[in-house]
Amino acid sequence: MRNGLVHKIGVNAALAIASFVSVFPFFWLMVGATNTSAEILRGKTSVGGALSNNFQHLTEQVSLLTLFYNSSKISIIATVLTLIVASLAGYGFEIFKTRWSERVFAALLAMLSIPFAALMIPLFVTMAEVHLINTHAAVILPSIASIFVIFYFRQASKSFPGELRDAARVDGLKEWQIFLHVYVPVMRSTYAAATIIVFMANWNNYLWPLIVLQTNETKTVTLAVASLLTAYTPDYGVVMVATTLATLPTLIIFFALQRQFVQGLLGSVK
Amino acid sequence: MAKATASRRDTMMGWAFTGPALVLLGLFLLYPIGYSLWMSFQVGKGTNLSFGGLANIWRLTQDSVFQHALLNTFTLLVVQVPIMISLAMLLAVALNDSRLWGRSLFRTAIFLPCVTSLVAYSVLFKSMFALDGVVNSFLEFLHVIEQPIPWLADPFWAKILIILAITWRWTGYNMIFFLAALQNIDPSIYEAARIDGIPRWAQFARITLPALKPVVLFTTVTSTIGTLQLFDEVNNITQGGPSDSTLTLSLYIYNLSFKFMPSFGYAATVSYVIVVLVAVLTFVQFVAARERRRT
Amino acid sequence: MRMKSLTRRNVLAAALASASFFAATASYAATTVTVWCWDKNFNGATMKEAGDRYTKAHPDVTINVVDFAKADLEQKLQAQLASGTTDGLPDIVLIEDYGAQKYLQSFTKAFEPLSDTGKIDYKGFADYKVALATLNGKTYSLPFDSGDSALFYRSDYLAQAGYKAEDLNNITWDKLIEIGKAVEAKTGHKLLDIDLNDTGLLRIMMQSAGTWYFTPDGKSAIDSPAFKTVLTQYAKLLQSGIYMPVSGWADYTGGFTSGKVAGTVTGVWIVGTIKANADQSGKWGIAPTPRVGDIKESVNASNLGGSSWYVLSSAKSKDAAVDFLGTIWGKDKDFYQKILIGQGALGTLLAAREGDAYKASDAFFGGAPVWQNFSNWLAKIPGINYGTFTNEADAAVAAQLPGLAKGGSVDDAVKAIDAQLKQQMQ
């Protein structure tokens, strides 16, 4: 019993240190949002009184409403479509393995490793041919069939109990019904993790939206924050407010979904 | 006979499930890949291109900056990926204990770094690791060091700084995959093991680790790819310096395409070096995973 | 009978004519000139001001200013030009002078030669700015801001160390090092802050001596005596210890705006950054750029950065864009007074120097006739052809700087830079 207590204290201390190291920069970010640019450069680490001023300067420079609308629209549509398409594919690659599907999958993994910088220019040409430059569709379409997420669902499908599928087949369920009524509910924690990751990737997506979006009306939050920072005289207070705001949506998604990690597999089957 | 039709039905089903993804990838990935492969045989500046055969590959062998970048990328990969994956796994296992106090709080805290935007994180790391920054002051206070460490100005310490930065940002991210996977282990197995008096470390080695194997493979492969394509951190924190000590292959590709006189053909060739490396490393990792399964 | 003459073909032609007529009026009513630039509060603000002035006289034209991060803008422009599609390109784009020839030579025909339009009088601009954007006898840019350099210093710190403004007038770098040591001894502050990933100071030294990384015909000049002398001077500065090492823009500007170091040598566009700290008013001074003592031709004037406006050949509103640049940026002296006061933007239209704003003195800099001084220095800056590989050369030099700072040999550094640069110049 005493050994258990020591273990518990040790684990808690380690987690507390890890948490502190993780949170400290975020704390610094929020404190920065309340200070002026000059105070931030001087390394001030206490809460200041410039928050509303910084916020006002930010809203004078950018239209927050437009930016958040654009980012939310792109991220939500892309996340929903990615989860559907990628989980179907990941399931398909794992459950219905053949020699050929294994080869296709290996090829996909190789493609995942091509740096995006090498693909950007031809992808831009493709989008110009279908007249999608400066549209949100041009940002969403290439992101849906994410090899990364397909790979994740495939690996997660390895833990999907075969007995469940066999039982469902005996009950006369069609393949799509097995997927929809058995696989999806059972893999809830996998879907939750994927939602967070995919949403975050889309929300923070930078390189491709930068190339394909051209006007202030279509820009995303992430693009706007970056252009605030590279001025000859960046206003760091404003940048900190903008960055804090830009971080909140992903954080909210995380808070909302983390419950899914707590309720285990067995809970969802019953 | 019946078996054969069943397997053909399975094959059809497989393509039906993977179909939508494959169609989209065909539209938005195959053409760009073909184009960039063709580009890798072109020489010239900007849009004034001509066929150069293997000239770009010859240029690679002569290019000391490329070799430097390759070595840097490998060093980061070999040191950083194992540290991060083990850390992510250990944190996930610790956080999976349902009797742990405040675990929702810990979980959120450790996940936080990866949502912090790149902009904030780079400004922050630079200020924290400045010569008179918080980190040096703290280490001096603890008497770990006597002279401040030149994190950003010294080639060796700059590499360490980049490793710290990536680990800080991506450990919580990888932890998510482990946490999700741990939900698929039946808690009653641990209960049974505990009653049998099997010690904690043995439970971890014999129950947890095997169950996590697919996710270990997934996070290792994707982190390897991520490190080989490392760009954000080095571009924003150290700009590849000092003395090119943190110049990665991706940063070099970026410079060749967008900063230097545009050599898109040569940049494409360097990109395919990464593809070949990943193909080799992935193959090794898969084989290793398979070998272990057999024994 | 009339009906019969209305063949299908005629109907079609009539329909097309009326459609194009409406289209023409529609586009005339809403000509939009899109401009890409990279700093909302600097070049973006000057462009907005120019747009407001132009649209007052031309209510049918809208000037739409879009700003990106500078590196992002360059990447975006380069990717789109490379793709060969003109979809989504703007009408006017801002390009930094160092990169001008790179763009003009790698994307031939992408930019409009403005000298062909006859709407711009290039004699009215500083010569060196016009030369930068000229290729095969055609000039492509509308010259914008100057990178006229100077020594910006905290006059209160230097006074404490016993130096007056006259002591900083037309000095050499060696003298500056000497002053830097005295300042540190008396005040505890380093004189400068330097980012070892950035080669700005070296570029200032080179241009003050009328030399560059390349020969006028574009070959590497790294093994020339002039470059070696400049690099030796820079190594001396790096080994002198009169500076605080910094990393990145925020750290760099933070060094002198927070009072940690006593000043910096850089381009005139830094004035806005310095003056953003209103509490330091009266505590700053501006002196001419130090010269390289070992090079006879070196003068106390140089340049760092600066940028110009270019019109894309594919521009949908090309005529309006050219007319806009010619009318406001090419002639309007009042406009240049306005952006000098508002944004601290020092244009290169020579006639603008006669305006009131240029003659005014500035209390922030101790009541000195700041802009008059900059104008005088501007006239002395040696003209340089930056060539097309300046970024490659910068990268090759930056790789050697930490070694030089630690006392490494200049000869070895020259050899390494030369080898790397020659490898990259293909």
Q: Is the pLDDT of residue B179 over 50?
A: yes
Considering only CB atoms, B62 lies closest to which of C247, C248, C423, namely: C423
Mean pLDDT, to the nearest integer, of A47-67?
A: 85
| Closest CA–CA distance from residue C70 to any residue of chain A (Å) | 7
Of all residues in chain A, the percent with pLDDT exceeding 90 is 9
Confidence of residue B295 (pLDDT cuts 50, 70, 90): very low
pLDDT at A22 over 90: no
- What is the pLDDT, as a whole number, of residue A86? 92
Six token digits for residue B76: 């980061």
pLDDT value of position C22:
39
How many helices (DSSP H) and strands (DSSP E) are in chain C? 19, 12
Which candidate in A59, A233, A238, A243 is best for mutational testing of the C interface (most C CBs within 10 A)?
Answer: A233
The answer to whether C33 and C311 are in contact (CB under 8 A) is no
Q: Are C75 and A61 inside 8 Å of each other by CB?
A: no
Shortest CA distance from A216: residue in chain C: C66
CB B106 within 8 A of CB B248: no
How many CB atoms within 10 Å of residue C217? 7
Distance, CA of B107 to CA of B78 (rounded, Å): 27
Confidence at B48, pLDDT banded by 50, 70, 90:
confident
Read off the pLDDT band of B133 (50, 70, 90).
confident
Q: Can you tell me the mean pLDDT for A81-106?
A: 88
Residue B15 CA neighbour count, 13 Å, CB half: 8
- Residue A37, chain C, CB below 8 Å: the answer is yes
Burial label, C358 (beta-carbon count in 10 A; 0-12, 13-18, 19+): buried
Sequence-ordered list of residues with C-beta below 8 angstroms from that of A252, at least 6 positions apart, any chain:
none
Q: How far apart are CA C32 and CA C18, in angstroms?
A: 23
Q: Is C326 helix (H, G, I), strand (E, B) or coil?
A: helix
**DSSP, res C98:** G
* Helix axes A2-33 and A236-257, enclosed angle (nearest 10): 140
| Sign of the dihedral defined by the CA atoms of residues B229, B33, C82, B45, in that order | positive
At residue B271, does pLDDT exceed 90? no
- pLDDT for A256 equals 81
**Closest by Cβ to B262, choosing from C71, C106, C246:** C106
Residue of A nearest to B47 (CA): A121
Report ipTM (2 d.p.): 0.82
Nearest CA in chain B to A259: B104
Q: What residues of chain C lie within 8 A of the CB of B42, using their CB?
A: none
SS3 call for B49: strand
Residues A202, C198: Cα–Cα separation, whole Å: 33
- Lowest mean pLDDT of A70-84, A122-136, C204-218, name the range: A122-136
Mean pLDDT, all residues of chain A: 82
What percent of chain B lies above the pLDDT cut of 90? 16
Please answer yes or no on whether B238 and C197 come within 8 Å at the CB atom: yes
| 3-state DSSP assignment of residue A174 | coil
Containing A122, the helix (H) or strand (E) segment is helix A116-129
Enumerate residues 6+ apart whose C-beta is below 8 A from C1.
none
Which residue in the set A133, A210, A231 is minimally distant from C41, CB to CB? A231
Q: Which residues of A touch B100 (CB under 8 A)?
A: 11-12, 15
**Nearest Cβ partner of C76 from A38, A210, A229?**
A210
pLDDT computed for residue A161 by the predictor: 80
Residues 111-130 of A with CB under 8 A from C: 120-122, 124-125, 128
**Which residues of chain B have a CB within 8 Å of the CB of A226?**
119
Is the pLDDT assigned to residue A14 strictly greater than 60? Answer: yes
Distance CA B205, CA B186 (A): 16
Contact C250 A236 (CB under 8 A): yes
Length of chain C: 426
Whether residue A10 is predicted with pLDDT greater than 60 in this model: the reply is yes
User: Minimum mean pLDDT among A1-15, A58-72, C16-30: which range?
Assistant: C16-30
Task: Give the gap in angstroms from C-alpha B243 to the nearest C-alpha of chain A.
Answer: 24
Tell me if residue A161 falls in helix, strand or coil: coil
Output A33 or C93, whichever has higher pLDDT: C93
3 state SS of A204: helix
Enumerate neighbours of A (3 or more CB pairs within 8 A).
B, C
Q: What is the mean pLDDT of residues B220-240?
A: 85
Q: How confident is the model at residue B6 (pLDDT cuts 50, 70, 90)?
A: low
Question: For chain C, which residues lie within 8 Å of any Cβ of chain A, measuring from their own Cβ?
Answer: 34, 38-42, 64, 66-72, 75-76, 79-80, 82-85, 87-88, 90, 249-250, 253-254, 257-258, 269-270, 272-273, 276-277
Q: With bands split at pLDDT 50, 70 and 90, how would you rate the model's confidence at A82?
A: very high
Q: Do A128 and C88 count as a contact with CB atoms less than 8 A apart? A: yes
DSSP-H helix ranges across C123-277: 127-132, 155-160, 173-187, 200-208, 225-240, 249-257, 271-275
Does the pLDDT value for residue B278 go beyond 90? Answer: no
**Two tokens at B142?**
């603890």
Give the C-alpha separation, C180 to C262, whole Å.
Answer: 9
Structure-block tokens of residue A233: 């005289």
Q: Show the low-confidence residues of chain C (pLDDT under 70).
A: 1-29
Per-state percent for chain B, helix, strand, coil, to nearest 5:
75, 5, 20
Nearest Cα neighbor of A30 from A266, A239, A223 is: A239
pLDDT for res B119: 65
- Tokens for A250? 């992903």
Residues contacting residue C12 through CB under 8 Å, at least 6 positions apart: none
Looking at per-residue pLDDT, the higher value among B115 and B166 belongs to: B166
Burial of residue C259 (CB within 10 Å: 0-12, 13-18, 19+) is middle
Contact A229 C75 (CB under 8 A): no
What pLDDT band is residue A246 in, cutting at 50, 70 and 90? confident
| Distance in angstroms between the alpha carbons of the first and the last residue of chain A | 33
Residue type, A23: V
Return d(Cα A73, Cα A79) in angstroms, integer.
Answer: 10
Give the per-residue pLDDT at C10. Answer: 43
Please say whether the beta carbons of C142 and C309 come within 8 A: yes
Flag whether pLDDT at A226 surpasses 80: no
Task: Give the gap in angstroms from C-alpha C262 to the nearest C-alpha of chain A.
Answer: 15
Residues 6+ apart with CB under 8 A from A265: A186, A189, B183, B184, B186
Residue B159 pLDDT grade (very low, low, confident, very high; cuts 50, 70, 90): very high
Contact between A254 and B111 using a beta-carbon 8 Å cutoff: yes
